[in-house]
Structure 1
Protein backbone atom coordinates (compact mmCIF):
# COMPACT_ATOMS: atom_id res chain seq x y z
CA UNK A 1 0.00 0.00 0.00
CA UNK A 2 1.02 3.58 -0.64
CA UNK A 3 1.95 5.52 2.48
CA UNK A 4 -1.09 7.62 3.42
CA UNK A 5 -1.19 11.33 4.03
CA UNK A 6 -1.52 12.35 7.69
CA UNK A 7 -4.00 14.75 9.26
CA UNK A 8 -3.77 15.93 12.87
CA UNK A 9 -6.69 17.16 14.94
CA UNK A 10 -6.22 19.20 18.12
CA UNK A 11 -9.55 19.49 19.92
CA UNK A 12 -11.85 18.29 22.68
CA UNK A 13 -13.37 14.85 23.13
CA UNK A 14 -16.83 13.29 22.92
CA UNK A 15 -17.18 9.88 24.61
CA UNK A 16 -20.27 9.12 22.49
CA UNK A 17 -18.23 9.61 19.32
CA UNK A 18 -20.33 12.21 17.53
CA UNK A 19 -18.13 15.29 17.81
CA UNK A 20 -14.62 16.46 18.70
CA UNK A 21 -11.56 14.39 17.94
CA UNK A 22 -13.64 11.22 17.72
CA UNK A 23 -15.65 12.64 14.81
CA UNK A 24 -12.48 14.05 13.27
CA UNK A 25 -10.71 10.70 13.27
CA UNK A 26 -13.73 8.99 11.67
CA UNK A 27 -13.86 11.71 9.02
CA UNK A 28 -10.14 11.41 8.32
CA UNK A 29 -10.47 7.64 7.93
CA UNK A 30 -13.49 7.98 5.64
CA UNK A 31 -11.50 10.47 3.55
CA UNK A 32 -8.58 8.10 3.13
CA UNK A 33 -6.00 9.80 5.35
CA UNK A 34 -4.27 8.62 8.51
CA UNK A 35 -5.58 10.46 11.55
CA UNK A 36 -3.68 11.63 14.61
CA UNK A 37 -5.25 13.43 17.58
CA UNK A 38 -4.18 15.65 20.48
CA UNK A 39 -7.02 16.15 22.98
CA UNK A 40 -7.17 19.58 24.62
CA UNK A 41 -10.21 19.07 26.85
CA UNK A 42 -12.00 16.01 28.17
CA UNK A 43 -15.70 16.69 27.65
CA UNK A 44 -18.45 14.63 29.26
CA UNK A 45 -21.10 15.02 26.60
CA UNK A 46 -23.68 13.03 24.69
CA UNK A 47 -26.59 13.70 22.34
CA UNK A 48 -28.48 15.35 25.24
CA UNK A 49 -25.84 17.95 26.07
CA UNK A 50 -22.61 18.67 27.93
CA UNK A 51 -22.41 17.37 31.48
CA UNK A 52 -18.85 18.38 32.41
CA UNK A 53 -15.65 19.80 30.91
CA UNK A 54 -12.12 19.19 32.13
CA UNK A 55 -9.39 21.19 30.39
CA UNK A 56 -6.00 19.52 30.13
CA UNK A 57 -3.01 21.54 31.30
CA UNK A 58 -0.88 23.37 28.78
CA UNK A 59 2.07 21.15 29.73
CA UNK A 60 0.13 18.02 28.82
CA UNK A 61 -0.97 19.50 25.51
CA UNK A 62 2.58 20.60 24.68
CA UNK A 63 3.89 17.14 25.56
CA UNK A 64 1.42 15.50 23.19
CA UNK A 65 2.27 17.92 20.38
CA UNK A 66 5.97 17.25 20.86
CA UNK A 67 5.31 13.50 20.71
CA UNK A 68 3.57 13.90 17.36
CA UNK A 69 5.97 16.30 15.70
CA UNK A 70 9.11 14.54 16.94
CA UNK A 71 7.94 11.42 15.12
CA UNK A 72 5.93 12.46 12.03
CA UNK A 73 4.98 15.66 10.26
CA UNK A 74 1.24 15.91 9.52
CA UNK A 75 0.31 17.05 6.02
CA UNK A 76 -2.53 19.18 7.42
CA UNK A 77 -3.68 20.29 10.87
CA UNK A 78 -7.07 21.09 12.31
CA UNK A 79 -7.98 22.73 15.60
CA UNK A 80 -11.42 22.55 17.16
CA UNK A 81 -12.13 23.21 20.83
CA UNK A 82 -9.26 25.37 22.08
CA UNK A 83 -10.61 26.79 25.30
CA UNK A 84 -7.92 29.17 26.56
CA UNK A 85 -5.22 31.61 25.58
CA UNK A 86 -2.58 29.33 27.10
CA UNK A 87 -3.62 26.45 24.85
CA UNK A 88 -3.51 28.71 21.80
CA UNK A 89 -0.02 29.93 22.60
CA UNK A 90 1.15 26.33 23.03
CA UNK A 91 -0.27 25.29 19.66
CA UNK A 92 0.79 28.34 17.64
CA UNK A 93 4.53 27.51 17.26
CA UNK A 94 3.71 24.06 15.87
CA UNK A 95 1.33 25.53 13.30
CA UNK A 96 3.91 28.11 12.25
CA UNK A 97 6.79 25.63 12.07
CA UNK A 98 4.84 23.03 10.11
CA UNK A 99 3.98 25.41 7.25
CA UNK A 100 1.17 23.03 6.27
CA UNK A 101 -2.53 23.72 5.63
CA UNK A 102 -4.29 24.66 8.84
CA UNK A 103 -8.05 24.51 9.34
CA UNK A 104 -9.79 26.17 12.29
CA UNK A 105 -13.23 25.11 13.41
CA UNK A 106 -13.83 27.92 15.93
CA UNK A 107 -15.83 25.81 18.38
CA UNK A 108 -17.41 28.07 20.98
CA UNK A 109 -20.75 26.49 21.80
CA UNK A 110 -21.92 22.86 21.69
CA UNK A 111 -24.99 21.90 19.64
CA UNK A 112 -26.88 21.76 22.94
CA UNK A 113 -26.06 25.42 23.64
CA UNK A 114 -23.38 24.75 26.27
CA UNK A 115 -20.37 27.11 26.18
CA UNK A 116 -17.06 25.46 25.33
CA UNK A 117 -14.76 28.50 25.30
CA UNK A 118 -14.35 31.28 27.85
CA UNK A 119 -14.71 34.95 26.92
CA UNK A 120 -10.99 35.61 27.01
CA UNK A 121 -10.44 32.64 24.69
CA UNK A 122 -12.93 34.07 22.19
CA UNK A 123 -11.13 37.40 22.20
CA UNK A 124 -7.68 35.87 21.83
CA UNK A 125 -8.63 33.49 19.01
CA UNK A 126 -8.43 36.29 16.44
CA UNK A 127 -5.12 37.54 17.75
CA UNK A 128 -3.30 34.21 18.12
CA UNK A 129 -4.61 31.61 15.66
CA UNK A 130 -7.07 32.92 13.08
CA UNK A 131 -4.47 34.85 11.10
CA UNK A 132 -2.57 31.58 10.54
CA UNK A 133 -5.55 29.74 9.08
CA UNK A 134 -5.73 28.32 5.60
CA UNK A 135 -9.48 27.90 6.13
CA UNK A 136 -11.78 28.92 9.00
CA UNK A 137 -15.19 27.20 9.16
CA UNK A 138 -17.55 29.21 11.41
CA UNK A 139 -21.30 28.84 11.52
CA UNK A 140 -23.30 32.07 11.67
CA UNK A 141 -23.23 32.51 15.49
CA UNK A 142 -19.47 31.81 15.59
CA UNK A 143 -18.84 34.24 12.74
CA UNK A 144 -20.88 36.89 14.54
CA UNK A 145 -18.76 36.43 17.69
CA UNK A 146 -15.58 36.88 15.66
CA UNK A 147 -16.53 39.78 13.40
CA UNK A 148 -18.61 41.62 15.99
CA UNK A 149 -21.82 42.24 14.04
CA UNK A 150 -25.07 40.43 13.23
CA UNK A 151 -25.24 38.27 10.11
CA UNK A 152 -28.74 37.85 8.70
CA UNK A 153 -28.42 38.55 4.98
CA UNK A 154 -26.18 37.56 2.08
CA UNK A 155 -24.65 41.03 2.08
CA UNK A 156 -23.73 40.66 5.75
CA UNK A 157 -22.20 37.24 5.01
CA UNK A 158 -20.07 38.87 2.32
CA UNK A 159 -19.09 41.64 4.73
CA UNK A 160 -18.05 38.99 7.27
CA UNK A 161 -16.06 37.09 4.65
CA UNK A 162 -14.16 40.23 3.74
CA UNK A 163 -13.46 40.85 7.44
CA UNK A 164 -11.83 37.42 7.81
CA UNK A 165 -9.62 37.95 4.76
CA UNK A 166 -8.72 41.62 5.14
CA UNK A 167 -8.90 42.38 8.86
CA UNK A 168 -7.94 39.05 10.42
CA UNK A 169 -5.68 37.72 7.67
CA UNK A 170 -7.08 34.22 7.18
CA UNK A 171 -6.40 32.78 3.70
CA UNK A 172 -9.92 31.46 3.41
CA UNK A 173 -13.19 31.20 5.32
CA UNK A 174 -16.30 29.10 4.84
CA UNK A 175 -19.28 30.77 6.49
CA UNK A 176 -21.89 28.08 6.93
CA UNK A 177 -25.45 29.20 6.40
CA UNK A 178 -27.21 26.43 8.27
CA UNK A 179 -28.60 28.85 10.86
CA UNK A 180 -30.36 31.00 8.25
CA UNK A 181 -33.72 30.33 6.61
CA UNK A 182 -34.09 28.44 3.33
CA UNK A 183 -31.63 26.05 1.74
CA UNK A 184 -28.31 25.42 3.49
CA UNK A 185 -25.86 27.64 1.59
CA UNK A 186 -22.17 27.67 2.51
CA UNK A 187 -20.02 30.56 1.26
CA UNK A 188 -16.28 30.23 0.62
CA UNK A 189 -14.22 33.42 0.57
CA UNK A 190 -10.61 33.46 -0.64
CA UNK A 191 -8.45 36.01 -2.42
CA UNK A 192 -9.56 34.32 -5.65
CA UNK A 193 -13.16 35.29 -5.05
CA UNK A 194 -16.41 33.88 -3.65
CA UNK A 195 -17.90 30.41 -4.20
CA UNK A 196 -21.03 28.95 -2.71
CA UNK A 197 -22.64 25.54 -2.36
CA UNK A 198 -26.33 24.89 -1.79
CA UNK A 199 -27.94 21.78 -0.36
CA UNK A 200 -31.48 20.97 0.68
CA UNK A 201 -32.45 20.83 4.33
CA UNK A 202 -33.34 17.47 5.79
CA UNK A 203 -36.01 17.01 8.43
CA UNK A 204 -33.76 15.65 11.17
CA UNK A 205 -32.63 16.71 14.62
CA UNK A 206 -29.51 14.55 14.29
CA UNK A 207 -26.84 17.13 13.51
CA UNK A 208 -24.45 16.62 16.42
CA UNK A 209 -20.86 17.06 15.23
CA UNK A 210 -21.64 18.55 11.81
CA UNK A 211 -19.10 21.35 12.23
CA UNK A 212 -16.35 19.00 13.40
CA UNK A 213 -17.02 16.60 10.55
CA UNK A 214 -17.17 19.27 7.84
CA UNK A 215 -13.90 20.90 8.89
CA UNK A 216 -12.18 17.53 9.34
CA UNK A 217 -12.98 16.53 5.76
CA UNK A 218 -11.60 19.85 4.51
CA UNK A 219 -8.44 19.12 6.50
CA UNK A 220 -8.16 15.62 5.03
CA UNK A 221 -8.60 16.88 1.48
CA UNK A 222 -5.99 19.61 1.99
CA UNK A 223 -3.62 16.96 3.37
CA UNK A 224 -4.03 15.09 0.09
CA UNK A 225 -2.95 18.17 -1.83
CA UNK A 226 -6.30 19.44 -3.06
CA UNK A 227 -7.08 23.13 -3.39
CA UNK A 228 -9.26 24.94 -0.86
CA UNK A 229 -12.17 24.99 -3.31
CA UNK A 230 -11.83 21.28 -4.06
CA UNK A 231 -11.60 20.47 -0.36
CA UNK A 232 -14.73 22.46 0.50
CA UNK A 233 -16.62 20.90 -2.43
CA UNK A 234 -15.87 17.39 -1.15
CA UNK A 235 -16.66 18.35 2.44
CA UNK A 236 -20.04 19.77 1.41
CA UNK A 237 -20.95 16.52 -0.35
CA UNK A 238 -19.67 14.48 2.62
CA UNK A 239 -21.67 16.39 5.25
CA UNK A 240 -24.82 16.52 3.13
CA UNK A 241 -24.86 12.71 2.85
CA UNK A 242 -23.91 12.37 6.52
CA UNK A 243 -26.95 14.43 7.54
CA UNK A 244 -29.26 12.79 5.02
CA UNK A 245 -28.44 9.30 6.31
CA UNK A 246 -28.09 9.82 10.07
CA UNK A 247 -27.64 6.61 12.11
CA UNK A 248 -30.35 7.59 14.66
CA UNK A 249 -28.06 7.14 17.67
CA UNK A 250 -28.82 8.62 21.09
CA UNK A 251 -31.83 10.09 22.89
CA UNK A 252 -31.22 13.68 21.81
CA UNK A 253 -29.52 15.41 18.88
CA UNK A 254 -27.69 12.42 17.48
CA UNK A 255 -24.53 12.26 15.36
CA UNK A 256 -24.25 12.34 11.59
CA UNK A 257 -23.26 9.31 9.53
CA UNK A 258 -19.51 9.24 8.96
CA UNK A 259 -19.83 6.12 6.77
CA UNK A 260 -22.37 7.49 4.27
CA UNK A 261 -20.03 9.31 1.86
CA UNK A 262 -17.58 6.48 1.43
CA UNK A 263 -20.35 3.89 1.04
CA UNK A 264 -22.57 5.85 -1.35
CA UNK A 265 -19.72 7.10 -3.49
CA UNK A 266 -18.25 3.58 -3.60
CA UNK A 267 -14.77 4.76 -2.64
CA UNK A 268 -11.89 2.38 -2.06
CA UNK A 269 -8.79 4.21 -0.85
CA UNK A 270 -6.56 1.14 -0.89
Structure 2
Protein backbone atom coordinates (compact mmCIF):
# COMPACT_ATOMS: atom_id res chain seq x y z
CA UNK A 1 0.00 0.00 0.00
CA UNK A 2 1.14 3.51 -0.76
CA UNK A 3 0.72 6.60 1.42
CA UNK A 4 -2.04 8.84 0.14
CA UNK A 5 -2.51 11.87 2.38
CA UNK A 6 -2.00 12.76 6.03
CA UNK A 7 -4.78 12.03 8.51
CA UNK A 8 -5.70 14.24 11.48
CA UNK A 9 -3.38 12.14 13.63
CA UNK A 10 -0.40 13.11 11.47
CA UNK A 11 0.02 9.55 10.18
CA UNK A 12 -0.31 8.90 6.44
CA UNK A 13 -3.60 7.49 5.20
CA UNK A 14 -2.92 4.33 3.24
CA UNK A 15 -4.71 3.43 0.02
CA UNK A 16 -6.13 -0.10 0.42
CA UNK A 17 -4.76 -2.78 -1.86
CA UNK A 18 -7.23 -4.31 -4.31
CA UNK A 19 -8.54 -7.64 -3.01
CA UNK A 20 -8.64 -10.72 -5.21
CA UNK A 21 -10.13 -14.05 -4.19
CA UNK A 22 -8.96 -17.38 -5.52
CA UNK A 23 -11.38 -20.29 -5.21
CA UNK A 24 -9.32 -23.35 -6.08
CA UNK A 25 -7.54 -26.47 -4.91
CA UNK A 26 -4.34 -26.64 -2.90
CA UNK A 27 -1.19 -27.91 -4.66
CA UNK A 28 1.21 -29.45 -2.18
CA UNK A 29 4.00 -29.06 -4.75
CA UNK A 30 3.54 -25.29 -4.79
CA UNK A 31 3.46 -24.84 -8.55
CA UNK A 32 -0.25 -24.55 -9.27
CA UNK A 33 -3.62 -24.04 -7.58
CA UNK A 34 -4.00 -21.78 -4.56
CA UNK A 35 -0.26 -21.54 -4.03
CA UNK A 36 0.46 -20.29 -7.57
CA UNK A 37 -2.53 -17.93 -7.54
CA UNK A 38 -1.41 -16.21 -4.34
CA UNK A 39 2.16 -15.84 -5.65
CA UNK A 40 0.86 -14.18 -8.81
CA UNK A 41 -1.47 -11.86 -6.92
CA UNK A 42 1.34 -10.83 -4.61
CA UNK A 43 3.63 -10.17 -7.59
CA UNK A 44 0.99 -7.83 -9.04
CA UNK A 45 0.62 -5.99 -5.72
CA UNK A 46 -2.87 -7.35 -5.14
CA UNK A 47 -4.02 -8.76 -1.78
CA UNK A 48 -4.94 -12.39 -2.40
CA UNK A 49 -7.49 -14.27 -0.32
CA UNK A 50 -8.08 -18.01 -0.69
CA UNK A 51 -11.03 -20.37 -0.58
CA UNK A 52 -9.69 -23.92 -0.73
CA UNK A 53 -11.99 -26.38 -2.52
CA UNK A 54 -9.82 -29.49 -2.25
CA UNK A 55 -6.53 -30.79 -0.94
CA UNK A 56 -4.23 -32.54 -3.36
CA UNK A 57 -1.15 -34.67 -2.76
CA UNK A 58 1.00 -33.91 -5.77
CA UNK A 59 4.45 -33.04 -7.03
CA UNK A 60 5.96 -32.29 -10.42
CA UNK A 61 5.42 -35.92 -11.47
CA UNK A 62 1.66 -35.94 -10.97
CA UNK A 63 -1.30 -36.03 -8.61
CA UNK A 64 -1.31 -38.87 -6.10
CA UNK A 65 -4.51 -38.07 -4.18
CA UNK A 66 -7.39 -35.58 -4.08
CA UNK A 67 -9.65 -34.92 -1.10
CA UNK A 68 -12.51 -32.38 -1.39
CA UNK A 69 -13.09 -29.88 1.40
CA UNK A 70 -16.44 -30.37 3.14
CA UNK A 71 -19.28 -28.13 1.98
CA UNK A 72 -19.61 -26.71 5.50
CA UNK A 73 -15.96 -25.68 5.52
CA UNK A 74 -16.21 -24.31 2.00
CA UNK A 75 -19.23 -22.22 2.99
CA UNK A 76 -17.43 -21.00 6.13
CA UNK A 77 -14.46 -19.77 4.06
CA UNK A 78 -16.73 -17.90 1.64
CA UNK A 79 -18.78 -16.32 4.43
CA UNK A 80 -15.67 -15.26 6.37
CA UNK A 81 -14.21 -13.44 3.37
CA UNK A 82 -17.52 -11.88 2.35
CA UNK A 83 -17.97 -10.43 5.84
CA UNK A 84 -14.66 -8.58 5.94
CA UNK A 85 -12.70 -8.76 2.66
CA UNK A 86 -15.03 -8.08 -0.30
CA UNK A 87 -13.37 -8.88 -3.63
CA UNK A 88 -12.48 -6.60 -6.50
CA UNK A 89 -12.26 -9.77 -8.59
CA UNK A 90 -12.76 -13.52 -8.12
CA UNK A 91 -10.58 -16.14 -9.79
CA UNK A 92 -11.95 -19.69 -9.87
CA UNK A 93 -9.85 -22.76 -10.57
CA UNK A 94 -10.32 -26.37 -9.52
CA UNK A 95 -13.82 -27.05 -8.17
CA UNK A 96 -13.73 -30.83 -8.31
CA UNK A 97 -17.26 -31.97 -7.57
CA UNK A 98 -20.98 -31.44 -7.96
CA UNK A 99 -21.60 -30.16 -4.43
CA UNK A 100 -18.73 -27.69 -4.66
CA UNK A 101 -19.89 -26.38 -8.05
CA UNK A 102 -23.44 -25.99 -6.75
CA UNK A 103 -22.36 -24.11 -3.61
CA UNK A 104 -20.03 -21.78 -5.52
CA UNK A 105 -22.71 -21.11 -8.12
CA UNK A 106 -25.18 -20.15 -5.39
CA UNK A 107 -22.63 -17.93 -3.66
CA UNK A 108 -21.74 -16.05 -6.85
CA UNK A 109 -25.32 -14.77 -6.98
CA UNK A 110 -24.69 -12.89 -3.72
CA UNK A 111 -21.50 -11.03 -4.66
CA UNK A 112 -20.77 -8.46 -7.37
CA UNK A 113 -17.30 -8.79 -8.84
CA UNK A 114 -15.73 -9.79 -12.16
CA UNK A 115 -15.07 -13.53 -12.34
CA UNK A 116 -12.13 -15.18 -14.13
CA UNK A 117 -12.70 -18.93 -14.51
CA UNK A 118 -10.02 -21.43 -15.45
CA UNK A 119 -12.12 -24.54 -16.13
CA UNK A 120 -9.75 -27.05 -14.56
CA UNK A 121 -10.94 -30.37 -15.96
CA UNK A 122 -7.70 -32.38 -15.99
CA UNK A 123 -4.22 -31.99 -14.57
CA UNK A 124 -1.21 -31.74 -16.89
CA UNK A 125 -0.52 -35.40 -16.11
CA UNK A 126 -4.07 -36.41 -17.16
CA UNK A 127 -5.80 -36.81 -13.80
CA UNK A 128 -9.50 -35.85 -13.78
CA UNK A 129 -9.92 -32.78 -11.57
CA UNK A 130 -13.60 -32.06 -12.20
CA UNK A 131 -16.31 -34.63 -11.71
CA UNK A 132 -18.04 -35.04 -15.11
CA UNK A 133 -21.43 -34.69 -13.39
CA UNK A 134 -20.42 -31.18 -12.30
CA UNK A 135 -19.76 -29.87 -15.82
CA UNK A 136 -23.47 -29.25 -16.44
CA UNK A 137 -23.69 -27.12 -13.27
CA UNK A 138 -20.52 -25.30 -14.32
CA UNK A 139 -22.03 -24.35 -17.67
CA UNK A 140 -25.61 -23.63 -16.60
CA UNK A 141 -25.05 -21.93 -13.26
CA UNK A 142 -21.51 -20.47 -13.24
CA UNK A 143 -20.77 -19.52 -16.87
CA UNK A 144 -23.38 -16.70 -16.87
CA UNK A 145 -21.37 -14.99 -14.08
CA UNK A 146 -18.01 -15.34 -15.84
CA UNK A 147 -16.16 -12.30 -17.17
CA UNK A 148 -13.29 -14.28 -18.72
CA UNK A 149 -13.21 -18.05 -19.32
CA UNK A 150 -9.74 -19.50 -20.07
CA UNK A 151 -9.99 -23.02 -21.54
CA UNK A 152 -7.14 -24.72 -23.34
CA UNK A 153 -7.80 -26.58 -26.59
CA UNK A 154 -8.71 -29.98 -25.02
CA UNK A 155 -11.02 -28.23 -22.54
CA UNK A 156 -12.61 -26.28 -25.40
CA UNK A 157 -13.31 -29.54 -27.21
CA UNK A 158 -14.78 -31.08 -24.07
CA UNK A 159 -17.02 -28.06 -23.47
CA UNK A 160 -18.24 -27.82 -27.07
CA UNK A 161 -18.51 -31.59 -27.51
CA UNK A 162 -16.53 -31.82 -30.75
CA UNK A 163 -13.10 -31.40 -32.31
CA UNK A 164 -12.09 -27.83 -33.12
CA UNK A 165 -12.19 -26.91 -36.79
CA UNK A 166 -12.18 -23.15 -36.25
CA UNK A 167 -11.05 -21.50 -33.03
CA UNK A 168 -13.18 -18.45 -33.81
CA UNK A 169 -16.30 -20.60 -34.22
CA UNK A 170 -15.48 -22.52 -31.02
CA UNK A 171 -15.24 -19.19 -29.19
CA UNK A 172 -18.68 -18.23 -30.49
CA UNK A 173 -20.07 -21.53 -29.21
CA UNK A 174 -18.67 -20.92 -25.75
CA UNK A 175 -19.91 -17.33 -25.70
CA UNK A 176 -23.37 -18.71 -26.43
CA UNK A 177 -23.11 -20.63 -23.13
CA UNK A 178 -23.31 -17.29 -21.29
CA UNK A 179 -19.76 -16.15 -20.54
CA UNK A 180 -18.89 -12.51 -21.20
CA UNK A 181 -15.61 -13.34 -22.94
CA UNK A 182 -13.41 -16.34 -23.62
CA UNK A 183 -9.65 -16.80 -24.04
CA UNK A 184 -8.94 -20.06 -25.88
CA UNK A 185 -5.33 -20.96 -25.16
CA UNK A 186 -3.27 -22.46 -27.96
CA UNK A 187 -0.50 -24.09 -25.99
CA UNK A 188 -1.54 -27.61 -27.04
CA UNK A 189 -1.37 -26.83 -30.76
CA UNK A 190 1.61 -27.53 -33.00
CA UNK A 191 3.84 -24.91 -34.55
CA UNK A 192 6.57 -22.42 -33.76
CA UNK A 193 4.09 -19.90 -32.38
CA UNK A 194 1.64 -20.08 -29.48
CA UNK A 195 -1.59 -18.46 -30.64
CA UNK A 196 -4.31 -17.64 -28.13
CA UNK A 197 -7.67 -16.21 -29.18
CA UNK A 198 -9.75 -13.86 -27.03
CA UNK A 199 -13.29 -12.90 -27.92
CA UNK A 200 -16.11 -10.95 -26.34
CA UNK A 201 -18.31 -11.34 -29.39
CA UNK A 202 -18.13 -7.94 -31.04
CA UNK A 203 -14.49 -7.46 -29.99
CA UNK A 204 -11.76 -10.06 -30.42
CA UNK A 205 -8.01 -10.44 -30.91
CA UNK A 206 -5.29 -13.00 -31.45
CA UNK A 207 -2.38 -13.04 -29.01
CA UNK A 208 0.64 -14.59 -30.71
CA UNK A 209 4.14 -15.18 -29.40
CA UNK A 210 7.05 -17.52 -30.17
CA UNK A 211 6.53 -20.95 -28.63
CA UNK A 212 8.74 -21.48 -25.57
CA UNK A 213 10.03 -25.06 -25.44
CA UNK A 214 10.28 -26.15 -21.80
CA UNK A 215 9.21 -28.99 -19.55
CA UNK A 216 8.55 -26.47 -16.76
CA UNK A 217 4.86 -25.96 -17.49
CA UNK A 218 3.23 -26.90 -14.19
CA UNK A 219 0.58 -24.36 -13.25
CA UNK A 220 0.45 -22.41 -16.52
CA UNK A 221 -3.36 -22.24 -16.53
CA UNK A 222 -3.50 -21.12 -12.91
CA UNK A 223 -0.81 -18.49 -13.41
CA UNK A 224 -2.40 -17.03 -16.55
CA UNK A 225 -5.90 -16.80 -15.09
CA UNK A 226 -4.61 -15.38 -11.79
CA UNK A 227 -2.67 -12.77 -13.76
CA UNK A 228 -5.80 -11.78 -15.70
CA UNK A 229 -7.71 -11.47 -12.42
CA UNK A 230 -4.94 -9.40 -10.83
CA UNK A 231 -4.76 -7.01 -13.78
CA UNK A 232 -8.54 -6.55 -13.67
CA UNK A 233 -8.30 -5.83 -9.93
CA UNK A 234 -5.79 -3.10 -10.76
CA UNK A 235 -8.27 -1.45 -13.10
CA UNK A 236 -7.38 -2.80 -16.54
CA UNK A 237 -10.22 -3.60 -18.93
CA UNK A 238 -10.65 -7.21 -19.96
CA UNK A 239 -8.75 -7.17 -23.25
CA UNK A 240 -5.87 -5.20 -21.70
CA UNK A 241 -5.77 -7.62 -18.75
CA UNK A 242 -5.59 -10.61 -21.10
CA UNK A 243 -2.70 -9.02 -22.98
CA UNK A 244 -0.87 -8.20 -19.74
CA UNK A 245 -1.34 -11.78 -18.53
CA UNK A 246 -0.06 -13.26 -21.80
CA UNK A 247 3.18 -11.27 -21.51
CA UNK A 248 3.48 -12.18 -17.83
CA UNK A 249 2.96 -15.88 -18.60
CA UNK A 250 5.74 -15.82 -21.20
CA UNK A 251 8.11 -14.26 -18.68
CA UNK A 252 7.25 -17.03 -16.21
CA UNK A 253 7.91 -19.75 -18.80
CA UNK A 254 11.35 -18.25 -19.38
CA UNK A 255 12.12 -18.41 -15.63
CA UNK A 256 11.73 -21.99 -14.37
CA UNK A 257 12.22 -22.73 -10.70
CA UNK A 258 14.25 -25.83 -11.65
CA UNK A 259 12.69 -28.06 -9.00
CA UNK A 260 11.39 -31.61 -9.30
CA UNK A 261 11.90 -34.29 -11.93
CA UNK A 262 8.68 -33.77 -13.90
CA UNK A 263 6.64 -30.78 -15.11
CA UNK A 264 8.40 -28.18 -13.02
CA UNK A 265 7.08 -24.96 -11.54
CA UNK A 266 8.01 -21.42 -12.56
CA UNK A 267 9.44 -18.46 -10.71
CA UNK A 268 6.84 -15.74 -10.14
CA UNK A 269 8.32 -12.25 -10.49
CA UNK A 270 6.60 -8.84 -10.48
CA UNK A 271 5.25 -8.01 -13.94
CA UNK A 272 6.14 -5.07 -16.14
CA UNK A 273 2.78 -3.32 -16.62
CA UNK A 274 2.84 -0.84 -19.50
Q: Shorter-chain TM-score: what band?
A: over 0.9
> Does structure 1 residue 240 correspond to structure 2 residue 253?
no
| Residues 70-85 of structure 1 aligned to structure 2 (within 5 Å) | 70-85=83-98
Structure (1 or 2) with the greater helix fraction: 1
Q: Distance in 1 between matches of 2:196 and 2:109?
A: 28
Partner of 2:174: 164
Task: Please give the secondary structure, in 1, of the residue aligned with 2:95.
Answer: coil
> Does structure 1 residue 124 correspond to structure 2 residue 124?
no
In the TM superposition, what whole-angstrom CA distance separates every residue of 1:146-181 from its partner, at most 9, and x where no partner exists?
Answer: 111112x4xx21111001212x11000000011111
Partner of 1:193: 203
In the TM superposition, what whole-angstrom CA distance separates every residue of 1:95-144 from its partner, at most 9, and x where no partner exists?
Answer: 22222100110001111111111110123211121121000000001111
Of 212, 215, 218, 2:228 maps to 218
Partner of 2:35: 22
| Residues 1-270 of structure 1 aligned to structure 2 (within 5 Å) | 1=2, 2-151=15-164, 153=165, 156-166=166-176, 168-182=177-191, 183-259=193-269, 261-262=270-271, 265=272
Shift in Å at residue 221 of structure 1?
1.0
Task: Please give the secondary structure, in 2, of the residue aligned with 1:229.
Answer: helix
**TM-score, normalised relative to structure 2:** 0.91
In the TM superposition, what whole-angstrom CA distance separates every residue of 1:214-265 from its partner, at most 9, and x where no partner exists?
Answer: 0001011111221110100100000001001212111111012212x53xx3
Kept in 2: contact 1:75–1:101 (CA 8 A):
yes
Structure 2, unpaired ranges of 5+: 3-14
Kept in 1: contact 2:217–2:265 (CA 8 A):
yes
Q: Distance in 2 between matches of 1:234 and 1:31?
A: 11
**TM-score, normalised relative to structure 1:** 0.93
